Amino acid sequence: MATETSTTADRRGIVERLRASPFLSELLSNRLAIIGLSIILGMVLLGVYARLFLDLGAISQSQLAAHPNKAPPGWLGSAALDQFLFGTDAAARDIFKRVLYGAWLALKFGVLVVGASTVLGISLGIIAAYYGDVVDNVVMRTMDVFLAFPSLLLALALVAIFGAGLSKVVIALTLVYTPRFARVVRGAALKVLEDEYIDATVALGARDPRVLVRHVLPNCLAPITVQSTLNFGLAIIDLAALSFLGFGAQAGTPSWGLMLKNGVSNGLLTGDWWLSFFPGLFLAVTVLGFNLLGDGMRDALDPRMRE
């Protein structure tokens, strides 16, 4: 009975808190954060469009029979080729379409990595906070050691164990990013535990991890969202980096990292700049979008950073 009422009260609390939240109004008044949000929304639209309307076969397989290879963007001169907005690559595939599809891949695998590590992090953080003492210490300090490693090197080490391939890279990066979420959740969970009302619910006989989930999750939604946003950009870069180094996407897949790899090996010396320029531009702009939004969110959340 006691938990029932407190849950409904809490649920009403979320909506009201959001409406009157200084966090949201602060965020919406931040011009850079709005720019970031627009970039992200734009990329999502492009990605979804590419997923729905582009033929994956045509942009993965060689088109040497049909088109010229390494053709510069059509608008650069030869009018006959104006259908290739971003030019074609070494296998005569349309770079524009590939870049659009790359947006879908980056967001999809970014969501997989960040989503999985958020869920894992929430579980570990809550477990650590709930059981405290030895469990807390061992779990969190192990996470800390993981945090001390640079993400790319750690991911490379894990790839050495799991082997190459996009799905394995996703697993490796999930492990790399989990500690960051675990730490945030644990901090928020400990704060909630300190509050008296949890003591009250526990005293009423609800000593149950479910209680924690119900009370902790609403309270750490904001920090988790900030963390997810900031790490989304990093995760996309790391995903692309691993593909760039040859451990992620397999040949033909229109991933930005792999396109950059091809651009470096095929276009650097000959000056075919469009091979690497456009995929990298989309990657950098997307990451910048997440960083702008995440930064704005952090400033809105953490009054210390404001005057």
Partner 1 sequence: MARYDPLLAWFRRRLRLVATAGAVGIVLGGIAAVVIAVLDDPTTASTQTFAIGTLAFGFGILGWSGSALAGRSIEGLQRRLDTNSDWTERDSRRAMTRLSGFGAGVMAGVVIVTPLLP
Partner 2 sequence: SKRFIAKRLLLLVPVLFGVATVVFAILHLAPGDPARVILGQRAPTQQVVQLRRELGLNDPIWVQYGRFLADTAQLDFGQSYQIAKGSPVWDVLADRLPVTIELAIYGQITAILLGIPLGVLSAVKQDSLTDHVTRIGALTGISVPIFWSGPLVLLVFATFLGWLPTSGRIGSTFFLEDHWVLFGTQLPLTGMVSIDTFILDTGAFVQSILYGEGLGAFASLTEYYASFISAVQHLLLPVLTLGIYSMALLSRMMRSSMLEVIRQDYIRTARAKGQGERITILKHGLRNALIPVITVIGIQFGTLLGGAVLTETVFGIGGIGQLLVAAIGATDYPLVQGTVLVFALLFTLVNLGVDVTYSYLDPRIQQ
Q: Where on the chain is the footprint of partner 1 (CB under 8 A)?
A: 134, 137-138, 140-142, 144-145, 148, 183-184, 187-188, 190-191, 223, 302, 304
Decide if residue 44 touches partner 2 (CB under 8 A).
no
Question: Which residues face 88 on adjacent strands?
Answer: 94
> Residue 223 or 233: which CB sits closer to partner 2?
233
Decide if residue 169 touches partner 2 (CB under 8 A).
no
Q: Restricting to residues 258-287, which ones interact with partner 2 according to CB under 8 A?
A: 260-261, 263-264, 268-271, 273, 276-277, 279-281, 283-285, 287
CA torsion sign for 299, 301, 304, 307 is: positive
Structure token pair of residue 113: 């990595």
> Residue 140 or 249: which CB sits closer to partner 1?
140
CB of 22 to partner 1, least distance (A): 16
Contact in structure between 160 and 247 (CB atoms under 8 Å): no
> Residue 127 or 287: which CB sits closer to partner 2?
287
Decide if residue 244 touches partner 2 (CB under 8 A).
yes
- Beta-carbon neighbour count of residue 7 at 10 Å? 15
Phi and psi based region of residue 87 (left: phi greater than 0; alpha: psi -120 to 50; beta: remaining): left
CB of 18 to partner 1, least distance (A): 20
CA-wise closest residue to 257 among 244, 275, 266:
244
- Measured distance CA(276)–CA(69) in Å, rounded: 15
The count of chain residues that interact with partner 2, using the rule CB under 8 A, is 46
Q: Which residues of 249-269 are buried (b: 16+ CB within 10 A; e: fewer)?
A: beeebbbbbbbbbbbeebbee
User: Using CB under 8 A as the criterion, which residues of the chain lie in contact with partner 2 when the complex forms?
Assistant: 32, 148-153, 156-157, 159-161, 163-164, 233, 237, 240-241, 244-247, 257, 260-261, 263-264, 268-271, 273, 276-277, 279-281, 283-285, 287-288, 291-292, 295, 305
